[in-house]
């Protein structure tokens, strides 16, 4: 079999699963009685909120670091791994590197609040404060790679990252072999692409439904344009879905194109209501990015009657102020 251009194969996802054993949690898939009744479907929640870092990104980061150690030996990573992310990816790289015995430097701008810096340091990484923007922090990452021989761990655009996230798809197929649909939040596309690669290889009839923000959604705009394009970033309750896909995207743009069946955009109000619903009815605290699947069901009236479907609750990295804001917007 020839390898697809995006480089993500079922075999690569099985290899990722092997590497994740004992490092990331095999998360539960739990039926929601309230949502099943509300949408006349069998709705299951995939609880990536149970990962030790609070989000699925641990899967991709662990897979990439472990694969590089396998291929090139631990000494090749002696200078360490690096990335620029204040959010779930930064936490994932910090945690995975510490567990795998590799040094990590997370570059953050001086505007990142002290509590976020402390949280990443507590996971065992060194934090380097540089500049006043994400771009300046990323320029420092590039310098560390060039001048100090460090290895970049990107947030989504690498077959090893997408394959790591794809282990979610394997777990879904084991726990719900008759699944009709997966609804997934979509930003850079590592999560949706990886899950889609696994699910389509095992059960092609299962639909992969992507959900993006209604504003500042780089993947949405890029799919419309037929090539990666840049968009202005917009403040959102679902901050983990912000950011571009990279104008030189080499993996996830093609991968998402290959595996996604339908695609919706959701408003801030729908995200806020979905966050509060999940907290109130499921007693689960999720961040905005993790609530977009329910937001799409509610806002677009997607007809899922009679289906067995999974919503990916991708993470719980939400500040109390953001939860307050969601409650204000939702009016509950």
Ligand X SMILES: *Cc1c(COP(=O)(O)O)cnc(C)c1O
Residues that bind ligand X (CB under 6 A): 55, 57, 88, 156, 185-192, 240-241, 287, 289-290, 314-315
Tokens 């719980």 belong to 316
Using alpha carbons, select from 54, 23, 65 the residue that is nearest to residue 153. 65
CB of 162 to ligand X, least distance (A): 8
Residue closer to ligand X (CB basis): 17 or 57: 57
Strands 42-47 and 308-313: parallel
Among 57, 109, 187, 240, the one annotated catalytic: 57
CB of 146 to ligand X, least distance (A): 25
Residue closer to ligand X (CB basis): 42 or 276: 276
Residue closer to ligand X (CB basis): 57 or 273: 57
CB of 39 to ligand X, least distance (A): 21
The residue number whose beta carbon is nearest to ligand X equals 315
Kind and range of the H or E run holding 321: helix 320-330
| Cβ neighbours for 229, distance < 8 A, ≥ 6 positions apart | 218, 221, 222, 247
CB of 171 to ligand X, least distance (A): 17
Determine the 3-state secondary structure of 193 from DSSP.
Answer: helix
Q: Is 116 a catalytic residue?
A: no
| Cβ neighbours for 238, distance < 8 A, ≥ 6 positions apart | 185, 213, 271, 287, 288, 289, 291, 292
Residue closer to ligand X (CB basis): 42 or 55: 55
Residue closer to ligand X (CB basis): 55 or 67: 55
Residue 238 — φ and ψ, nearest 5°?
-100, 65
Q: Distance between CA 305 and CA 291 in Å, rounded?
A: 20
Tokens 């649909």 belong to 181
b/e burial code for range 143-176 (CB count within 10 A of at least 16 → b): ebeeeeebbbbbbbbbbbbbbbbbbbbbbbbebb
Residue closer to ligand X (CB basis): 277 or 287: 287
Using alpha carbons, select from 115, 127, 20 the residue that is nearest to residue 66. 20
Q: Is 128 a catalytic residue?
A: no
CB of 169 to ligand X, least distance (A): 13
Determine the 3-state secondary structure of 58 from DSSP.
Answer: helix
Q: Distance between CA 202 and CA 179 in Å, rounded?
A: 11
CB of 57 to ligand X, least distance (A): 5
C-alpha distances (whole Å) from 55 to each of 50, 222, 248, 292, 316 are 7, 25, 26, 15, 7
| Residues with catalytic function | 57, 314
């Amino acid at each position: 079999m020839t390898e697809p251009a995006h480089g993500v194969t079922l075999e690569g996802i099985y290899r990722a699963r092997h590497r994740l054993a004992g490092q990331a949690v095999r998360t539960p898939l739990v039926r929601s009685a309230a949502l099943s009744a509300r949408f006349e479907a069998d709705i299951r929640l995939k609880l990536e909120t149970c990962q030790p870092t609070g989000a699925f990104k641990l899967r991709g980061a662990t897979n990439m670091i472990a694969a590089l150690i396998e291929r090139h030996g631990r000494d090749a990573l002696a200078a360490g791994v690096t990335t620029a992310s204040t959010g779930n990816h930064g936490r994932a790289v910090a945690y995975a590197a510490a567990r795998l015995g590799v040094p990590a430097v997370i570059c953050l701008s001086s505007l990142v609040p002290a509590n976020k810096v402390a949280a990443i340091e507590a996971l065992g990484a060194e934090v380097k404060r540089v500049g006043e923007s994400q771009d300046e922090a990323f320029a420092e990452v590039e310098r560390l790679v060039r001048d100090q021989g460090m290895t970049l761990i990107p947030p989504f655009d690498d077959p090893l990252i997408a394959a790591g996230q794809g282990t979610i798809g394997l777990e879904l197929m084991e726990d719900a072999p008759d699944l009709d649909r997966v609804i997934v939040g979509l930003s850079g596309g590592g999560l949706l692409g990886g899950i889609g690669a696994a699910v389509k290889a095992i059960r092609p009839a299962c639909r992969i439904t992507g959900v993006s923000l209604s504003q500042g959604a780089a993947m949405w705009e890029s799919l419309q344009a037929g090539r990666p394009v840049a968009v202005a970033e917009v403040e959102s309750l679902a901050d983990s879905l912000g950011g571009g896909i990279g104008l030189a995207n080499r993996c996830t743009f093609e991968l998402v194109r290959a595996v996604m069946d339908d695609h919706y955009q959701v408003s801030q109000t729908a995200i806020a209501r979905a966050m509060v619903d999940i907290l109130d009815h499921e007693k689960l605290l999720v961040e905005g990015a993790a609530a977009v699947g329910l937001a799409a069901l509610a806002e677009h009236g997607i007809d899922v009657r009679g289906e067995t479907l999974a919503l990916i609750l991708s993470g719980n990295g939400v500040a109390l102020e953001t939860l307050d804001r969601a409650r204000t917007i939702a009016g509950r």
